[in-house]
Structure 1
Amino acid sequence: MSDLTVDCDPAEVGFDAARLERLDRRLARYVDEGRLPGFLVTVARHGRLVHVGRAGLRDVDRGLPVEPGTRWRIYSMTKPITSVAAMSLYEEGAFALTDPISRWLPEFADTRVYVAGSAAKPVTAPQMEPIRVWHLLTHTSGLTYGFHEAHPVDAMYRAAEHGFGTPPGADSAEVCRQWAALPLVFQPGSEWNYGVSTDVLGRLVEVLAGRPLDEVFAERVFAPLGMTETSFGLRDGDDPDGLARLYGAVPRPDGGPDHGPDTTFTALDAAGAAALTKPAFLSGGGGLVSTAGDYLRFVECLRRGGDAEGGRVLGARTLAHMVRNHLPGNQDLETFGRPLHAETPLRGVGFGLGFSMVLDPVRYGVVANAGDYGWGGAASTTFYVDPVDDLTVTFYTQLLPSSTLPIRAHLRALVQQALVD
């Protein structure tokens, strides 16, 4: 499957081929309208790759097309890999989910909690309970992202050079020390807030394993799954032309509902250049580049309950625990979380150990099955696994921010309407 060769007729796995083509037509319209540079989408059911669609360009100025082997900055789609690597250590007894992370990362023992004031003069209080491993996996730690621009602590992150990136040359140990010196947004466990929790989890994995995160990934995830094209930035010998160019959405001067599409895109070469080489900071929250074929190996492993086709990355019961909703009282992200940008809608959606999942399709507002789970990346990439219909869907492009176009809702609607069994 990793070479992206369709290996069955859609009817063999319950799809109507004509209806499935609607998926490509809808996505290609974004390309034709000048709102999306290019894309690649995969649909698989029962472990059979039934559809691969692609259109547009990976580099518009140079006319380079999207190809099966195009490499993509997957940003936060790194997070599920970090979570799986961490839970593989959990299965060996390396930690308990309730363990305080200060046992291994002592800099977080005395991190304060914001209660009032400004970014320049915050009023803080001690932690009422420590940050636990479970808090990192569920984004209930109180850590944040500087790019949210929604809270005084976010501004403190940006002032410390933690906006859309980290200070040059700082490795994972150093950035964690810097984050630990800043206040938490809330008391650990009291709310959900999308932030650097998975990056701290990546550092914890390094300490527990006694090796850099890329080596842990290679041993525990990439090698068992044959993921040979996934790495922290391009490696020596990789062709930089194979990496898709990064773009950002910009308003059309005369755009709007009455005048056609309201956005187009522009190249973000300065931001995109970070992926051309291996960084000093191996970001467990967003540092990987990958190909559609490689990441499909990971997603299909999830669908199989952690099975690596001859080995096992995780136990099936461990993975089942990860994709349950861990928010108190089975609340959704809109109720328990903060009103800010995340890689998924918040209504009707819960969060487990590294994955979001659909709790209530009606509240979610999209035709979907309760229990489907996945995550996305800042440049509009996404994936989900649907255990009810036994299918996986992945999507790749390079457009910031991920909220620009309603691609994730379209994916579920268009895949579901094509199922006829």
Structure 2
Amino acid sequence: MQSRNSLSASSPEQAGMSGAALARVDAHLKRNYIDAGRFAGTQLLVWRRGCIAHHAVQGLADVERNIPLGEDSIFRIYSMTKPITSVAFMMLVEEGRVALDEPVHKYIPQWKDLGVYRSGVTAPFLTRPPARPMLVIDLLRHTSGLTYGFQQRTNVDAAYRALKIGEIEKAGTMASMVADLATIPLEFSPGDAWNYSVSTDVLGYLIEKIAGQPFDQFLQQRIFDPLGMADTGFHVPAEKAHRLAACYAVDGRGGKVLQDDPATSSFLTPPSFISGGGGLCSTMADYLTFCRALLNRGELDGVRLIGPKTLALMTANHLPGHRDLTEMSTSMFSEANYAGIGFGLGLSVTMDPARAMIAGSAGEYAWGGAAGTAFWIDPAEDMIAILMTQLLPSSATQVRRELRSMIYAAITDSNI
């Protein structure tokens, strides 16, 4: 068993994988993404059977300054914050301080009379009463009726954009977000659909309210410090600023433009809005540590985050009627949108790899971030895969699907 912070790879064969096949993954990333000018650089890691089967760092952290990507480079992980926030919330559930079937308005009274959108382009909107109240579980599984402004699909998400709710460049505070959301109707009655949304940001607000301490302090004391995730936080301190990678955005011509300069990034100072849905920066080593705790049924090296039964609950499909995302989703964008993929409590869950038409295992769970970072955990194969890169939006490429096919093809000794 490797130490918690080591990124040294063992023999792929020791992990039941082909070194030659994994080398083809690196070549694919270099040829089709880095040399092609789509990604500045990539860091890819595969963990299997208690060791790092493969780890490769390629390309640049900062094209403009010609700085190579390093093992300790710091990435904006955006929505890969969501599984961490969801685990933190489930800690409070385990302690009996909140229940999944409680109405959200128990904790946010000003939301008690939130209606469902009927018509209107600006406030006051015409609304109708929801079929039932929004429940805590709706926030965890994105069936709350909330949305993201970048969906650009309805007059409701237009209202989010007008108030700058849930934007990449965060504004306001968690309290101001909750107050603003009280003035905007729901997209749909809670439980009727799945829509990628600011729900996990609301969970961060609830954690702060229920735990009685700032949300970022809760994560630090309950997850980051115990696991030794020393490079994960809502901003990058001055002594680590040189390790922050540049973030790029697609330019519409198959290339990229600088979106966030690491020398002037807003991530260099503590934010006023602590985003449980997308505010964290982290490293490969730190996120691997978090994933290892999940793969090990909620515990790592004597540090237990949550119990095995709680993790099993989180990684079960919670979409009503056991439907998948294609049957329930109204989103124009999310970090997963395949048939055969359900959603648990903060994570996508593979129900049927054949329907999804991707290599994998039933019971695998995953998520990604807006700038292209991604991970998945496959308990059946005792495997973790993590990609770190910095290109907005994540939907600009099919690299995640390609990596799944190539990494699963490298397995020579399957557990199933």
Give the TM-score normalised by the residue count of structure 2: 0.95
Equivalent pair of 1:347/1:363 in contact (CA under 8 Å): yes
Q: Which residue of 2 aligns with 1:341?
A: 333
Name the residue aligned to 1:203.
205
Structure 1, 211-220 or 79-88: larger mean CA deviation: 211-220
Is 1:383 the counterpart of 2:375? The answer is yes
Q: Which moved more, 1:68-77 or 1:158-167?
A: 158-167
Which residue in 2 is equivalent to 1:225?
Answer: 227
CA distance 1:163–1:78, shift in 2 (3 Å):
closer
What percentage of residue pairs aligned between the two structures are identical? 43
Shift in CA distance, 11/88, structure 1 to aligned 2, threshold 3 Å: same
Unpaired stretches in structure 2, ≥5 consecutive residues: none
8 Å CA contact 1:115–1:186 kept in 2: the answer is no
Name the residue aligned to 1:268.
Answer: 259
2:110 is aligned with 1:118: no
Q: Distance in 2 between matches of 1:163 and 1:350?
A: 23
- Cα distance in structure 2, aligned partners of 1:285 and 1:305: 23
Higher mean displacement: 140-149 or 361-370? 361-370
Partner of 2:64: 61
Partner of 1:393: 385
Are 1:350 and 2:350 an aligned pair? no
Which SS does the other structure have where 2:133 is aligned? coil
What is the CA–CA distance in structure 2 between the aligned matches of 1:339 and 1:198, rounded to whole Å?
16
Map of 2:54 onto structure 1:
51
Corresponding residue for residue 132 of structure 2? 129
**Residue in structure 2 matched with residue 95 of structure 1 by the alignment:** 98
Q: 2:165, 2:199 → 1: CA distance? A: 14
Mapped partners of 1:312, 1:57: distance in 2: 36
Deviation at 1:165, TM superposition (A): 4.0
Give, in whole Å, the separation in 2 of the partners of 1:19 and 1:5.
20
SS where residue 50 of structure 1 aligns?
A: strand
Amino acid at match of 1:295: Y
Contact residue 247 and residue 265 of structure 1 kept, 8 A: yes
1:312 is aligned to 304
Q: Which moved more, 1:381-390 or 1:265-274?
A: 265-274
CA distance in 1, matches of 2:248, 2:110: 37
Q: Distance in 2 between matches of 1:226 and 1:282?
A: 21
1:18-54 CA-partner distances (Å, limit 9, x unpaired): 1111111111121011111111011001221111111
Q: CA deviation at 1:339?
A: 4.2
CA distance in 1, matches of 2:8, 2:303: 24
More displaced stretch, 153-162 vs 76-85: 153-162
**Partner Cα distance (1:7, 1:241) in 2:** 25
Contact 1:46/1:390 (CA < 8 Å) preserved in 2?
Answer: yes
The alignment partner of 1:94 has SS state of coil
Superposed displacement of residue 270, structure 1: 7.2
1:175 shift after superposition: 1.1
**Paired residue for 1:238?**
239
User: Which position in structure 1 is the counterpart of 2:7?
Assistant: 5
Instruction: After superposing the two structures, state which structure 1 stretch, 322-331 or 102-111, moved more.
Output: 102-111
Aligned pair 1:28/2:5, yes or no? no
3-state SS, counterpart of residue 239 of structure 1: helix
User: Given the superposition, is the C-alpha separation of residues 238 and 180 from structure 1 closer, same or farther in structure 2, using an over 3 Å criterion?
Assistant: farther
Query: Secondary structure, in 3 states, of the residue corresponding to 1:204?
Result: helix
Contact 1:380 1:397 in 2 (8 A): yes
- Superposition deviation, residue 356 in structure 1: 0.1
Question: How many Å separate the matches in 2 of 1:60 and 1:216?
Answer: 36
Q: Which residue number corresponds to residue 255 of structure 1?
A: none
Shift of 1:162: 2.3
1:116 Cα shift? 3.0
Distance 2:43 2:347 in 1: 22
Q: String of CA shifts for 1:368-394, please: whole Å, max 9, x gaps.
A: 112110100000100000011110000
**Count of aligned positions:** 409
Do 2:246 and 2:261's aligned partners in 1 also have CA atoms closer than 8 Å?
no
Q: Is the 8 A contact 1:6 1:50 kept in 2?
A: no
What is the distance in 2 between the residues matched to 1:403 and 1:318?
31
1:228-278 CA-partner distances (Å, limit 9, x unpaired): 11000113x3332210111001122xxxxxxxxxx1100013798221211
Counterpart of 2:365?
373
Q: Deviations over 1:163-203 (max 9, x none)?
A: 624763x2111111111221110001111000000000110
Partner of 2:250: 249
CA distance in 1, matches of 2:191, 2:368: 23
**TM-aligned CA distance change 1:228 to 1:174, over 3 Å:** same
How far 1:119 sits from its partner (Å)?
4.3
State how 1:149-160 maps to structure 2 within 5 Å.
149-160=152-163
Tell me the C-alpha RMSD between the 2 structures. 1.6
Tell me if structure 2 keeps the 8 A contact 1:347–1:364: yes
Describe the SS at the equivalent of 2:251: strand
